[in-house]
Amino acid sequence: MTSKKMQVNKILIASVLGVGLLTGGCGSLPKESAEAQSQRPGSNQREGGATPVDAAVARTGVLRQDPEYTGSTVPFRTVSLRSQVEGRLLALNVDVGDSVKQGQTIAQLDDALLRTAQNQAEAELAALKSEVARANAQISNARAQVASAQAELEQAQADAQRQQKLLKEGAIAQQAAEQAGTEARTAAQALRAAQEQVRTEQQALAAAQGRVIAQQALVAEAKERRSYAKLTSPITGTVLEKVTEPGNLLQAGNEALKLGDFSRVKVVVQVSELELAKVRVGQSVKVQLDAFPNQTYTGQVTRISPAADTTARLVPVEVVIPNGDGKIGSGLLARVNFETQTQERVVIPETALQKEETRGQGEKGETSTENPKSQIQNRQGTVFVVTQAGEKVTVTARPVTLGQRADGKVEVLSGLQPGERFVTRSGKPLKDGVAVRLSILSEKS
């Protein structure tokens, strides 16, 4: 009985071990790579000696993604609505969040004193206009006197000439002729006096008209000051904050409201000085808002600060986003990506490179080590391109020129075209023209 039990136990142990090995082998099959296949005994013999490889299709892309910057949305501009005159606030017609139009009356101050000052200025203007009217009347009278004196002078001169003629003929005495001459001279003096009176009255009129003009300016100023009793919106926007309430006394310069222009919104992000060379005014940027995750906005760089933070070496950059529908408010989290002019190239994993070397070439194509600055560093590598003709799959060694590297990938500047299949990993070293077998991990062209 004891020997039978021992035999049964051995059989059970062997069965358990067999199941475990079988299970472990099945678990590795879906993740089988070209290297694992190459290590199976006799696998190459069953496939005619073909080397198992992993293959991928060449695609273009950007080696490094542009960094993302975060900031908060703010109105394109913020305006403080302030009182320009002293007065008690009688009415405030808007509340926080209300939309206002440019020129819309928002609040009303008590304008009783301002109205009185305007009335006084207008009354003074009326009195000065009366003075101008009187001055015009006096000028008219003085001109009438000039005309009368001119007529008397002409008559006196005619009489004097006639008397002189009669004197020469001996018809009248010398005294009569002299008297006629004296009357003519007197008439001339009266004309000059009348003309001087006209000039005096014209000067008085000009002074009165000057006072009228000055007073008109005072009346316009009084009207303007009275208009300040109505607080009107200087922009089309939204009420951000109420600073005062009706009943409060406002002094000149006191703030009543804060208004924001949301026709566009701004986002200010802090850019590292190392990335600043990639940013320019007028550059387009992509902006995503967490509040609207399914929408991407296109903004524009409008200002780059000339001063960087002396501690973190960050430079404020201002981005403006259009907001025609007014959905974007203030304080929303914004994620900004600057669109750089990075050219897309073929990008492959570094594991696909079979051989790599760096060549320094001078301006005339000669290798030189004397002047490193004049050298052009051409990094060359070899990639095996997969060629399939019917059932036969082979690889061809292809020299490629390499660019930058990042995250285990490398740019191919020339030698490999998008859409071509290439070997990313092989079970053993490859040679030009060797037959290969594509693993289950290989991409189809």
CATH code linked to domain 113-227: 1.10.287.620
- Express each pLDDT in 409-443 by its tens digit: 888 888 888 988 898 888 788 888 888 888 888 88
CATH fold for domain 77-111+232-250: OB fold (Dihydrolipoamide Acetyltransferase, E2P) (2.40.50)
Domain segments of the chain as ranges: 57-64+344-438, 77-111+232-250, 113-227, 261-338
- Alpha-carbon gap, residue 73 to 261, rounded angstroms: 12
Among residues 292, 376, 289, the alpha carbon closest in space to that of 337 is found at: 289
Q: How many CB atoms lie within 10 A of CB 361?
A: 14
pLDDT band at 175 (very low <50, low <70, confident <90, very high): confident
Q: Given this model, what pLDDT does residue 391 score?
A: 79
Residue 273: phi, psi to the nearest 5? -60, -25
Q: Given this model, what pLDDT does residue 19 score?
A: 37
- Alpha-carbon gap, residue 90 to 246, rounded angstroms: 5
pLDDT for residue 51 is more than 90: no
Chosen CATH of 261-338 out of 3.50.50.60, 2.40.30.170, 2.40.160.40, 3.30.420.40: 2.40.30.170
Please tell me which of 20-24, 308-312, 353-357 the model is most confident about, judged by mean pLDDT.
308-312
Among residues 333, 330, 320, 335, the alpha carbon closest in space to that of 264 is found at: 320
pLDDT for residue 369 is more than 90: no
Q: Is 326 left (phi over 0), alpha (psi -120 to 50) or beta?
A: left
Q: Given this model, what pLDDT does residue 378 score?
A: 61
Q: Given this model, what pLDDT does residue 359 score?
A: 56
Round the average pLDDT of the chain to a whole number and report it. 81
Mean pLDDT of 223-248: 94
Tell the burial category of 225 from Cβ atoms under 10 Å away from its Cβ (0-12, 13-18, 19+).
middle
CA 318 centroid distance within chain? 7
Q: Given this model, what pLDDT does residue 379 score?
A: 80
CATH fold for domain 57-64+344-438: 2.40.420
pLDDT for residue 212 is more than 80: yes
Q: Given this model, what pLDDT does residue 21 score?
A: 36
pLDDT for residue 287 is more than 80: yes
Q: Given this model, what pLDDT does residue 436 score?
A: 86
pLDDT for residue 15 is more than 50: no
Same fold, 57-64+344-438 and 77-111+232-250: no
